[in-house]
Chains A and B, each alone.
Chain A
C-alpha cells in the first residue's frame, strides 16, 4: 500500500553511486524533499529524466532536495545494476544523488509502483504529492508541471491542490 497523503514518509538510509549515505531525516530543515523512483532502462523514466533534473536545478536555490532512487532487480535487469548507475552518473551531469535500493525495501515502504514515481515531502517529512511529473512523457514543454506546482504550494505553505496523480511508467522490477 502506498503511503497516504499527509502521512509521515518512512525514513531510509541508502547509498548513492559514490558510496555516500543519504536519508530523508538528514534533510531536517529542508523545506521540501522529492523522492523519485527511477531507473536506467525504462523509456518513461528516461523521457522524463531531463525535466526532473531541471526541477532539481531550479529548486535547489530554494533548499529543495531531490533524491533519485533505483529499486529495480538488477539481477534480472543488469542495466539497473549499481555499476550501470555509476556509469550513467559519470556520463551525465546529475544535480541529485542516485541511490541504490538493493533490497527494494524503500520502494515497498513508499508503495512505489512504476518508474518514474514521484513523492514530494514537506519540511516535516509528510507526503504532499505522489504521482507523475506531469501529464505527458511525450511533451517536454510540460516541464514536470505537476511536480513544480506541488513544490510551489509546499514552499508557500499552501495546501497542495493536486495531491495525487496516476504515476505512469514501467513497473518496478521486483525480485522473484
Chain B
C-alpha cells in the first residue's frame, strides 16, 4: 500500500493529519506502511498534482476524499466534514481508517 500526504506550508494541519494517518495505520496493524509526504510549493505544483488543498491524502494514488466540484485546484487549506457534520481541516478519523482498511483488503486480494 502506498500512502502519500500532500501538504502546503500555509496550512497548519500537516502534523495533525500525519498523526491521524499513522494512528489509523497503527490501529489496523499496518504500522509498517510508510507515509510519504510531498510539499506543494507553487500553483504549478498544485496544478500538476490536482491539489485542491492541504492536507490531501492519497491512498494508492487515490484521494481519500474525492474532490468536490466546487473545490478549486490551488494552494489553500482543505475543508473536510466530519461524520457528525462538523467542519475540520483534516479528514474524519473513521473515513481515514475505512479507506486504509479497504486499500489493505485490495492489496490482500491482489
A: residues with CB less than 8 A from B are 41-44, 46-47, 76-79, 114, 137-138, 140, 168-171, 173
**What CA separation (Å) do A76 and B86 show in the bound complex?**
26
Total B residues in contact with A, Cβ cutoff 8 Å: 15
Q: Mark B72-110, 1 if CB is under 8 A from A, else 0.
A: 101011111000001111000000000000000000000
Chain A proximity of B84: nearest CB distance (Å): 10
Closest 6 CB pairs of A and B: A43-B89, A171-B10, A170-B77, A46-B87, A43-B79, A47-B87
Do A47 and B12 touch (CB < 8 A)? no
**B49 interface hit (Cβ, 8 Å):** no
Which residues from chain B sit less than 8 Å from chain A, CB to CB?
Answer: 10-13, 72, 74, 76-80, 86-89
Whether A41 and B88, one on each chain, are in contact in the complex, defined by CB atoms closer than 8 angstroms, is no
Residues of A within 8 A of B89 (CB): 43-44, 47, 137
Say yes or no: A170-B80 contact (C-beta < 8 A), given A43-B89, A47-B89, A137-B89.
no
Chain B residue nearest to A167 (CB atoms) is B12
Q: Closest CB of chain A to B87's CB: distance in Å?
A: 4
B62 CB to closest chain A CB, in angstroms?
22
Q: Are A169 and B74 in contact (CB under 8 A)?
A: no
CA distance A140 to B86 in the complex (A): 9
Q: How far is the CA of A10 from the CA of B81 in the complex (A)?
A: 37
- Are B77 and A43 interface neighbours, CB within 8 A? yes
Taking a contact as CB atoms closer than 8 A, the residue among A43, A169, A171 that contacts B88 in the complex is: A43
Q: How far is the CA of A47 from the CA of B87 in the complex (A)?
A: 5
Contacts of A47 on B, CB cut-off 8 Å? 86-89
Contact B86 A170 (CB under 8 A): no
Q: Which residues of A contact B13 (CB under 8 A)?
A: 43
CA distance A56 to B29 in the complex (A): 46
Residues of A within 8 Å of B11, CB to CB, are 170-171
Q: How far is the CA of A41 from the CA of B68 in the complex (A)?
A: 14
In the complex, how many angstroms separate the beta carbon of B21 from the nearest chain A beta carbon?
16
* B-chain residues with CB within 8 Å of residue A140 when the two chains form the complex: 86
Sampled A-B contacts (10; CB under 8 Å) = A42-B76, A44-B12, A47-B86, A47-B87, A47-B88, A76-B74, A138-B88, A168-B12, A169-B12, A170-B10
